[in-house]
Chain A
Amino acid sequence: MSAPVETPIESSAMAIERQAALWIQRRQFWDWSPADQAELDAWLGQSTAHEVAFIRLMSGYSRTDRLVALRAPRVDRRLSLARLLRIAAGLALVAALGTWAIRYSTGPKDVTYSTPIGGRQTIMLADGSRIDLNTDSVLRLRGDAAKRLAFLDKGEAYFQIKHDAQRPFVVAAGHHRITDLGTKFLVRTASDRLDVTLVEGRARVDSSGSARSVDLEPGDEVIATSGNLTTIRKTIQQVSDQLGWRRGVIVFKHTTLADAAAEFNRYNPNRIMLGSGAVAALKIDGTFPSDDPDAFVEITQDILHLRVEKRGQNIVLTK
């Protein structure tokens, strides 16, 4: 059982209550080790609000024991073998996708790294820099180590660059160029746009088509389209949510189902599709494992009262 996944900073009482409830179900229904207990103790020690929420839910939960009186006379507790095999096969496939990544060369000088849909790869460079490549992405590194040049041809990557004033690290993506000035930053490419979010340090974005360049402060996100650079400011929490994929999760905050489905489809070959505009506009919150669209469908279906239909490998959600 994987740990309940939550974002690190929680503010409202509801969010704390949600975390406390995840802890309780984890302790009651899943394997519970001394390490889990230590983790829970650490969480409880973080604030009185955590402690009080936990006590409240736990004591309330213990009072639900009288519901056992409702126990059905007969429940088939056997698990079908076919079902178990299906689950095991699913797990194996996920594991295989996670570690599988091709590495090949396109030229004498460039080394190419690519990840399949759902894949992730970490590239450690000789100078101590680190690049995390997200799903369905292609990154080329200029073989000439003196140059410190990378091309993000497709997808998304997070760069943690060891700064060297003599040799700035440059990432080229489409018509744009990001120059590190001592930095951690996230770059995501799509067909018609490029997003650069600065997490730490300083960086500069410029476009080959224009003389314009933008210097980024931490929390800045630049959205570059053909001929236009727009900067927006993000909170630490938003930036951390955006980097959820490095922990294998996707974080939604008042996200429309349309955007959420598109995000899941980046990570999974089986696509989530939406039946109508009304469904697409529904909003959701939550943190989900990026490799488990079924969990996402299961929860949203239940909460938003949607109908789920399998169409081949794809899932269609309708009202």
Chain B
Amino acid sequence: MTSSALVDWFVREVLPLEAALMHFLQQNWRNPHEIADLRQDVYVQVYDAARKQIPTHTKAFVFQTARNLLIDRVRRDHIVAIEAVPDLTALGTTDDAPGPEQAAIARGEFRRLQAALDKLPPRCREAVVLGRIEGLPGRAIAAHMGISEQAVSVHLANGIRALVNEIYGRDGDREEKP
């Protein structure tokens, strides 16, 4: 299969599942610091598998991959815990129709983006506003803010990560969650 079809499938069908996937991982894995790594591992396995053939039921495939990964981790880490292995039947993951979470994401996305933008540290926010919203190039942002180009790069990169994590539902970062 062509790589652009693969990317297209990944963006269209896999990434919108992220909020649900993160929820699933958080429910079934004790260590919150490992969630981001687990999410990455799921994506890598799904993407690599799809290079050969794109699965027909994306959602079921993603969650089956996640489940297998958690089981492997439990075995590898010799964790003895009855509740450590997630029960998928309760999640209704065999259905590929857009779930309610996807619809919600689309509806509230602008508001959430705006909220995420406001949550950024002030200077980071300023760089993102100048770059993404006002459309200034990096050099002009640096001059406008009176800081180095390197600092602008880091602000922009931090801002991009925060906004994208917001878009896909859950921030898998080291931030403490209630």
Which residues of A are in contact with B by a Cβ distance under 8 Å? 1-2, 4-5, 12-14, 16-18, 21-22, 24-26, 28-30, 47-49, 51-53, 55-57, 59-61, 63-64, 66-72, 75, 77, 79, 83-84, 87, 286, 288-289, 292, 294-295, 298-299, 301-303, 305
Q: Say whether, besides A21-B157, A25-B156, A75-B134, A51 and B40 are in contact (CB < 8 Å).
A: no
Question: 24 A-B Cβ contacts within 8 A?
Answer: A1-B138, A13-B172, A16-B40, A17-B36, A22-B157, A25-B160, A26-B153, A29-B131, A49-B40, A52-B40, A53-B40, A55-B10, A60-B164, A60-B165, A64-B163, A66-B109, A68-B132, A68-B135, A75-B134, A79-B144, A83-B146, A298-B123, A298-B147, A302-B124
Say yes or no: B39 contacts A13, CB within 8 Å.
yes
Given contacts A21-B157, A61-B164, A75-B134, contact A49 B151 (CB under 8 A): no
Chain B positions 113-157 with a Cβ under 8 Å from a chain A Cβ: 113-114, 117, 121-124, 129, 131-144, 146-157
* Given A56-B43, A57-B160, also A294-B36 (CB < 8 A): no
> Contacts A60-B168, A67-B132 hold; do A295 and B157 have CB atoms under 8 A apart?
no
A288 to B91 Cα, complex, angstroms:
45
B20 to chain A minimum Cβ distance, whole angstroms, is 15
Given A24-B160, A48-B47, are A1 and B167 neighbors across the interface (CB < 8 Å)? no
Cα distance A282–B152 when bound, in Å?
23
With A16-B40, A61-B160, A305-B121 as known contacts, state yes or no: A292 contacts B168, CB within 8 Å.
no
- Which chain B residues lie closer than 8 Å to A72 at the CB level? 133-134
Instruction: For B145, give the chain A residue with the smallest CB separation.
Output: A298
**B48 at interface, CB cutoff 8 A:** yes
State whether A17 touches B150 (Cβ < 8 A). no
Cβ–Cβ < 8 Å partners of A55 in chain B: 7, 10-11
| Closest partner residue, chain A, to B126 (CB atom) | A302
- The number of chain B residues with a CB under 8 A from chain A is 60
Question: How far does the alpha carbon of A310 sit from the alpha carbon of B134 in the complex, in Å?
Answer: 30
Interface centre among B122, B156, B168 (most CB of A within 10 A): B156
In the complex formed, the residue of A with least CB distance to B158 is: A21
Chain A nearest Cβ from B9, distance in angstroms: 11
What residues of B have a CB within 8 angstroms of the CB of A64 in the complex? Answer: 113, 132, 160, 163-164, 167
- With contacts A55-B10, A59-B15, A64-B167 taken as known, whether A292 is within 8 angstroms of B150 at the C-beta atoms is yes
Give the docked Cα–Cα distance between A303 and B154 (Å). 11
Q: Which residue from chain A places its CB closest to the CB of B160 in the assembled complex?
A: A21
A-B pairs with lowest CB-CB distance, top 4: A60-B164, A13-B40, A21-B157, A25-B156
B123: chain A residues at CB < 8 Å are 298, 301-302
Cross-chain contact of A294 among B117, B147, B168 (Cβ < 8 A): B147
Q: State whether the Cβ of B174 lies closer than 8 Å to any Cβ in chain A.
A: yes
Interchain CB contact under 8 A, B148 and A295: yes
Check if A56 sits within 8 Å of B164, measured CB to CB: yes
- B122 to A, closest residue via Cβ: A302
A63 touches B40 (CB 8 A): no
Q: Is the CB of B147 within 8 A of A295?
A: yes
A25 touches B168 (CB 8 A): no
Residues of A within 8 A of B5 (CB): none
For A17, the chain B residues whose CB sits under 8 A away are: 36, 161
How far is the CB of A310 from the nearest CB of chain B, in Å? 12
With contact pairs A2-B150, A79-B140, A299-B151 given, residues A52 and B173 touching in the complex (Cβ less than 8 Å): no
Cβ-closest chain B residue relative to A87? B143
Instruction: Tell me if B47 and A57 are in contact (CB < 8 A).
Output: no
Is the beta-carbon distance between B144 and A48 smaller than 8 angstroms?
no
Other A-B contacts than A1-B139, A18-B161, A68-B133, 12 sampled, CB-CB below 8 A, are A12-B37, A17-B161, A21-B160, A29-B156, A64-B167, A66-B110, A69-B110, A79-B143, A295-B147, A295-B148, A298-B123, A302-B122
Find chain A residues with CB under 8 A from B163 CB.
Answer: 60-61, 64
Residue from B10, B36, B143, B155 in contact with A52 in the complex, judged by beta carbons closer than 8 Å: B10
Residues of B within 8 A of A4 (CB): 153, 157
Determine whether the beta carbon of B133 is less than 8 Å from that of A67: yes
How far is A53 from B52 in the complex, measured between Cα atoms in Å? 20
